[in-house]
Chain A
Amino acid sequence: MIRIARRLFLSFFLLAPAFSASAQSRGGLEIDIVGGNAAALPIAVVPFGGNAGETDVDDIIRADLARSGQFRTLAEAGLPERPTQGSEVAYPTWRLLKQDFLLVGRSVPDGSGYRVEYELFDVAKQQRLLGFALTAPASAMRDVAHQISDAVYEKILGVPGAFWTRIAYVTSNGLGRNAKYALMVADSDGFNPRTVVNSTEPLMSPSWAPDGRRLAYVSFEGGNSAVYIQDIASGAREKVASFRGINGAPSFSPDGNRLALTLSKGGNPDIYVMDLGSKHLTQVTNHFGIDTEPTWTPDGAGLVFTSDRGGRPQLYQAPAAGGSATRISFEGSYNASPSVSFDGKKIAVAQGAGNTYRIALLDRSLGSPRWSLLSPGSLDESPSFAPNGAMVLYAAREGRRGVLYAVSADGRVRQRLVLAEGDVREPAWSPYRKR
């Protein structure tokens, strides 16, 4: 087997929250492509003509496609020609370079923003696959780039891209009672980070509403855990659970009308479902063990959750309306923090063995459950599927701090996302954005 080992270190900008006032401050978002995918499709993304202000649109597209693990992008230095539109494309050149696909484009000023035109070609068939133009304000050029990546990804692979999405995560600085916490939202590649909540008490477990506009999360600001739902744009929020004991692990139902959560008001942690209209609670589990981390199955009928009712934490599934729970993980001594893919076929988990915790994937689409490992450890946690199921975000520890990784669902390509300072954890990938 041909093993292509590539290591690309591209320095991108990530604005740390403390420096967000200064647009020039740069943290490091490091793209570290480990291993390689022999089946990755070669694509040449030619630098776009014209200019789109400060945003390098083609550079963002190239990084998106490479990060997905599905594409192998041609380095800019290796380009013999730089066509910017279809009439300039000479297919033999690209066939000689063994490129399957070619993306060209150009940007022109348009009012207060830019108009970006792009065309995608199939080199072997000598055929134009896509030809579109997007117009947006200068401040939205990164959004334009991610939308082009999504279109290219979907045209070639038949699966929607998830580049024009967002991620939520929690950061912390300091230790013990002096720690400061923040709930952040950023683009899927870590750019444009914005603070949603700041607190001197712990913040935990962000969960996206299906509309992509609200987050549920846990805050200890009142001296105990409480679950809040907050509108990201306006900052308006509502405290939906602050019972005695634990109020944790919120998860929106696929229709957005219900919230699964963990409450220990009954004496120990159990799973409940709250109707968000009436705030009425339905108790789903009733067991002396710890039941937590409920996650909905895509049909909204079931919940996958973590329970140590058998001794150690394992995954169980129960009807969302309540009823008996069935254990679904039988490999590994510790399986927790389930994230279910959009089609319900795959579940990403934090799997523990001794002192090593790795992200593992349970594939239930085949006759018998099949496991694969997505991360090397040793303290990996909090997996979160991209809305198209092609990638998984997770948190890892490096030395004294936490960092985020995005890994392709086949485990072949990983990307590291690091803040300039502080601890980053609990990533949650947003649903698709609505235009």
Chain B
Amino acid sequence: MNASASRIARTLLLAALASAIAVGCTKKVKEVPPTDTGASTGTTTTPVDDGGATRPGAYGPNDLDTDACLRNRVVYFDLDQDALKPEFQATMACHAKYLRDRPTARLRLEGNADERGSREYNVGLGERRGNAVSSALQANGGSASQQTVVSYGEERPVCNEAGEGCWSQNRRVELVYSAK
């Protein structure tokens, strides 16, 4: 009993020490970046935009052309499906982060379907896909007020050959920034 009690006491002490160190570390890490940012970007960044733009690690408009993840702006779907495939989770995460970092950005989600079946029904299907992308962006913290879903159904195909190779390219949602 005694031995175990002292062991518990020792464990608690260690835990307290560890957390104290951890807090100390976090504090140190937190303190460093502002000075870094000031030194490295102070001369190049013009602070006319919102304050968020100068935050470290925050996306800026140029990242839409350069960032490997943000450059992915088409999400593809399986036949008759509006469920987001797992491979597009990373794309959702970075675009949601962009929307968080850039509160003035506005995103059009253009839903599309392949050419099979009823045109008006496919407009409905395209909207479902747009909504699925919007939900995924919101789940990642992107604000709904920054997003608009527009469905083009099968009216704006990127190819018109008969066959799955082409159809799979048309079943898509395009992420179009109307304001960066």
Chain A interface residues toward B at CB < 8 A? 172, 175-177, 179, 181, 202, 204-205, 220, 223-225, 245-246, 248-249, 262, 264, 268-269, 290, 292-293, 306, 308, 313, 334, 336-337, 350, 352, 355, 357, 378-379, 381-382, 397, 399-401, 423, 425-426
Contact = CB atoms under 8 A, between A and B. Distances in A.
Contacts of A290: 121, 124-125, 128
Interface residues on B, range: 20 to 34
A68 to B, nearest CB: 27
Given A202-B155, A246-B151, A313-B121, 9 more contacts: A181-B155, A262-B120, A268-B128, A292-B121, A293-B121, A306-B121, A308-B121, A379-B162, A401-B160
A190 to B, nearest CB: 21
A264 B127 contact: yes
A248 B116 contact: no
Interface string B117-129: 1111101110110
A266 to B, nearest CB: 12
Interface in B137-180: 148-153, 155-162
Nearest to A397: B162
Contacts of A337: 118-121
A220 B127 contact: no
B178 to A, nearest CB: 9
A337 B159 CA distance: 24
Interface string B24-37: 00000000000000
B115 interface: yes
A223 B151 CA distance: 10
Nearest to B164: A355
29 contacts: A175-B157, A175-B159, A175-B160, A204-B153, A205-B120, A224-B148, A225-B151, A245-B149, A246-B124, A246-B127, A248-B120, A262-B123, A262-B124, A268-B124, A292-B124, A293-B118, A308-B124, A313-B118, A336-B117, A337-B121, A352-B116, A378-B162, A379-B116, A379-B162, A381-B117, A381-B118, A381-B119, A399-B162, A426-B119
Interface in B70-99: none
Given A202-B152, A264-B127, A292-B123, A313 B162 contact: no
A76 B160 CA distance: 41
Contacts of B160: 175, 400-401, 423
B102 to A, nearest CB: 21
A21 B155 CA distance: 28
Nearest to A267: B131
A414 to B, nearest CB: 20
Contacts of B120: 204-205, 248-249, 262, 292-293, 306, 337
A179 B156 contact: yes
A357 B119 CA distance: 13
B21 to A, nearest CB: 51
A176 B176 CA distance: 14
Nearest to A202: B155
The 9 nearest A-B residue pairs measured at CB: A290-B124, A202-B155, A336-B118, A249-B120, A269-B124, A400-B160, A337-B118, A292-B120, A293-B120
A400 B157 CA distance: 11
Contacts of B153: 204
A354 to B, nearest CB: 10
A426 to B, nearest CB: 7
A282 to B, nearest CB: 20
B117 A313 contact: yes
A425 B159 CA distance: 17
A220 B108 CA distance: 14
B123 A248 contact: yes
A355 B167 CA distance: 11
B156 A225 contact: no
A425 B124 CA distance: 19
A350 B119 CA distance: 11
B106 to A, nearest CB: 12
A205 B115 CA distance: 15
Contacts of B117: 313, 334, 336, 350, 352, 357, 381
A29 to B, nearest CB: 22
A88 to B, nearest CB: 53
B124 A176 contact: no
A261 to B, nearest CB: 10
